Amino acid sequence: MTTRLTFHGPLSSARADTIVGRLSANRPHTVLDIGCGWGELLLRVLEAVPEARGTGVDLNETDLGRGRRSAEERGLAGRVAFLAESARDTAHGPADLVLCLGATQALSDADCPTPEALRSLRRLVTDHGRVLLGEGVWDRRPTPAELAGMWPGAAESDHLTLPALLDLAVESGFRPEWTETATLPEWEEFESGCQADQEVWLAANPDAVEVRERLDRHRAQWMSYRGILGMAYLTLVPVRDWTA
């Protein structure tokens, strides 16, 4: 399903390279990836920082397997563990670099980023470390009609705006070192890459009703949030001696 994707989100290789450069400059020895999936960014950080060791936690065995195979192929298997476990109340950390890309839901009961999730990230990072938070934000507030076309039960409360996300990070013990948001081409590459293999298969198997309905439904949803749902990448610096 995801053979066309390098990252499991709207992230170009060019932006990833810049992010990895910034994060590597802080010379992390330990990297913890919350809801790592197949951990492409984690592996790129380990390639850039030979003394670093990484831990990725996720519940999805298929994605973890892709991460382990990729680590093996790149000679990184001895420096990274892809663990099948929940990130909620994780015993791993604190780490010098914490990655949390599209995965704050792993740190609290809510689907949108909460003070609880951000405070968890603050506890999981060492005082001199960094957090890279990748989080969906509203690029503009959706109308009720637009929300009705998105995912089932979509609500404005599912995401914050970029200013509100930054405020939440600051209130949770961080300063934003770098703030950036995914571009429309990054979204288009991601959304196309998610569906491309199945679209090509469906064209050759046009009687597969279930697949056609699923792809048509997803396309309609994506067209409803295209240009409205954004993705913020925040490089966060922990404030020293911060207490919740």
Ligand X SMILES: C[S@@+](CC[C@H](N)C(=O)[O-])C[C@H]1O[C@@H](n2cnc3c(N)ncnc32)[C@H](O)[C@@H]1O
| Residues found near ligand X in the complex (CB under 6 A) | 7-9, 35-37, 57-60, 63, 86-88, 101-103, 105-106
Least distance in angstroms from the C-beta of 58 to ligand X: 4
Least distance in angstroms from the C-beta of 168 to ligand X: 19
Task: Name the residue nearer to ligand X (CB basis): 24 or 60.
Answer: 60
Report cis status (omega within 30 of 0) of the bond before 94.
yes
Task: Name the residue nearer to ligand X (CB basis): 102 or 238.
Answer: 102
Task: Name the residue nearer to ligand X (CB basis): 105 or 126.
Answer: 105
Task: Name the residue nearer to ligand X (CB basis): 8 or 122.
Answer: 8
Long-range contacts of residues 227-230, Cβ cutoff 8 Å, at least 24 apart:
227/139, 227/184, 228/138, 228/139, 228/140, 228/142, 228/146, 229/136, 229/137, 229/138, 229/139, 229/150, 229/159, 230/136, 230/137, 230/138, 230/139, 230/162, 230/181, 230/182
Least distance in angstroms from the C-beta of 95 to ligand X: 15
Least distance in angstroms from the C-beta of 145 to ligand X: 26
